[in-house]
């Protein structure tokens, strides 16, 4: 079967065509993916302005959709119905104006083409990015074994989720305040870096000293799988305020010390949960999973603990928001809905 995925929860407008085999339950091929981003506009304002993000979604949607259909299925305007079996679309969480663009597009296509519509929770999308084929022409990688532990680390979320199967899911913990990506972005702003700051902090951290300051590692040793990163932001702010001049080297040292604090907490909580629930797989997902230093630290510490779990990380371009992961989640968690009843849910969490 072929799934059309649509993702517009924030500042990426993404459409993908994913081929899957219902009998073997494998994702066989990513036929095409097109993604446009309004990130450069938001970099100028230091963060996403929802109204602008929504307007950009509107201007990108049809060009992205038509290019993807052309590339993946040679489908042109004027032809009747493309060879697809279902339409999967993000319905939350996210910015209401942005979500509406994807949802309205999906509803209209479902109505016009008479195709099933599958609403997808964006958070599951980040988890199911791990099931995607490694590249456009390769097969889904090793079959992921349950129980699996997923760490979703994005701009809006830091969640630890236990998956006994595709349908039995328990949230072990989440962030009590700022998400990990949000912490990277807010601290980056304090240091004068442009939005989003995660990737630049990682690059600068390579030239800095992670032990320059031992920033707080909130909740690290406590018996909870919740996270809290707002205290870290305050600690960095105090340090910046007390510093007469932020030299390039000092910024690099602060980046390295900040990153070390965030990674320590993420790794410790994830591995503690992996041990407690004796999971067979650990899945990372979300923009912060693109951080190689995080992946290396997780891998190294899992080895130290002789943990018997395989670690999965999506290809970098599928860590950040994209429509392929939405199609993948739609395939494994297929719950059809009529185009008449679909509406956005900006506050959606795991169900
Ligand atoms: O998943 P995503 O694209 O959007 C949300 O659903 O939020 O994640 C974006 C977040 C941003 O906060 C960005 O700073 C962070 O992912 N990010 C990184 C890296 N690349 C992106 N954080 C740390 N290291 C990176 N290399
Ligand atoms: Zn996301």
CB atoms within 10 A of CB 296: 12
What's the pLDDT band for 140 if we cut at 50, 70, 90?
A: low
Ligand 1 contacts CB of residue 198 (under 6 A): yes
d(CA 211, CA 115): 55
pLDDT score at 243: 92
Q: Which of 202, 288, 291 to mutate to test the pocket of ligand 1 (most atoms within 8 A of CB)?
A: 288
In Å, how far are 167, 211, 234, 280, 342 from 321, measured between CA atoms? 23, 32, 28, 26, 21
Ligand 1 contacts CB of residue 13 (under 6 A): no
Q: What single DSSP character describes residue 140?
A: B
What percentage of residues in the chain have a pLDDT greater than 70? 98
**Ligand 1 center to residue 298 CA distance, Å?**
17
Average pLDDT over residues 323-335: 97
- Residue 130 · residue 142 · CB < 8 Å: no
Q: Tell me the pLDDT tens digit for each residue of 39-78.
A: 888 788 888 899 999 999 999 999 999 999 999 999 998 8
**Which residue is listed with tokens 């919740």?**
226
**Ligand 2 center to residue 306 CA distance, Å?**
31
**Ligand 1 center to residue 108 CA distance, Å?**
31
**Ligand 1 center to residue 317 CA distance, Å?**
11
Ligand 1 contacts CB of residue 156 (under 6 A): yes
Q: Tell me the pLDDT tens digit for each residue of 270-315.
A: 999 999 999 999 999 999 999 999 999 999 999 999 999 999 999 9
d(CA 115, CA 145): 31
d(CA 84, CA 18): 9
**Which residue is listed with tokens 């609403």?**
119
Cα Rg of the chain, angstroms: 20
Q: Name beta bridge partners: 34.
A: 15
**Which residue is listed with tokens 């000092």?**
250
Supply 239's token pair: 């340090």
What is the pTM for the complete model shown?
0.95
Does residue 37 carry a pLDDT above 80? yes
User: Which range, 76-80, 95-99, 347-351, is most confident?
Assistant: 95-99
Supply 71's token pair: 């590339």
Nearest Cα residue to 144 out of 17, 328, 350:
328
Ligand 1 contacts CB of residue 286 (under 6 A): yes
Ligand 1 contacts CB of residue 321 (under 6 A): yes
Does residue 351 carry a pLDDT above 70? yes
């Amino acid at each position: 079967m072929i799934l059309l995925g649509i993702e517009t929860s924030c500042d990426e407008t993404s459409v993908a065509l994913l081929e899957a085999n219902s009998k073997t339950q494998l994702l066989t091929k990513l036929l095409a993916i097109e993604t446009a981003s309004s990130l450069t506009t938001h970099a100028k304002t230091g963060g996403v302005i929802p109204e602008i993000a929504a307007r950009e979604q509107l201007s990108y949607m049809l060009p992205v959709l038509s290019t993807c259909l052309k590339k993946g299925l040679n489908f042109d305007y004027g032809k009747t119905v493309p060879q697809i079996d279902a339409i999967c679309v993000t319905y939350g969480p996210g910015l209401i104006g942005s979500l509406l663009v994807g949802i309205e597009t999906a509803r209209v296509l479902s109505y016009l083409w008479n195709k099933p519509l599958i609403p997808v929770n964006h958070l599951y999308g980040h988890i199911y990015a791990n099931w995607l084929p490694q590249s456009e022409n390769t097969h889904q990688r090793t079959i992921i074994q349950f129980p699996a532990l997923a760490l979703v680390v994005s701009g809006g979320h830091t969640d630890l989720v236990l998956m006994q199967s595709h349908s039995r899911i328990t949230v072990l913990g989440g962030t009590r305040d700022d998400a990990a990506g949000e912490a990277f972005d807010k601290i980056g702003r304090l240091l004068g870096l442009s939005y989003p700051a995660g990737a630049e902090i990682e690059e600068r951290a390579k030239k800095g000293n992670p032990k320059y300051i031992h920033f707080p590692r909130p909740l690290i040793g406590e018996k909870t799988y919740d996270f809290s990163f707002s205290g870290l932001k305050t600690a960095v702010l105090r340090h910046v305020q007390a510093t007469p001049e932020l030299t390039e080297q000092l910024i690099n040292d602060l980046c390295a010390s900040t990153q070390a604090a965030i990674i320590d907490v993420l790794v410790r909580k994830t591995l503690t949960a992996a041990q407690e629930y004796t999971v067979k797989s650990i899945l990372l997902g979300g923009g912060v999973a693109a951080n190689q230093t995080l992946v290396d630290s997780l891998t190294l510490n899992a080895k130290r603990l002789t943990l018997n779990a395989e670690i999965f990380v999506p290809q970098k371009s599928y860590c950040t928001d994209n429509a392929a992961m939405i199609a993948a989640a739609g395939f494994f968690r297929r719950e059809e809905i009529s185009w008449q009843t679909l509406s956005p849910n900006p506050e959606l969490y795991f169900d």
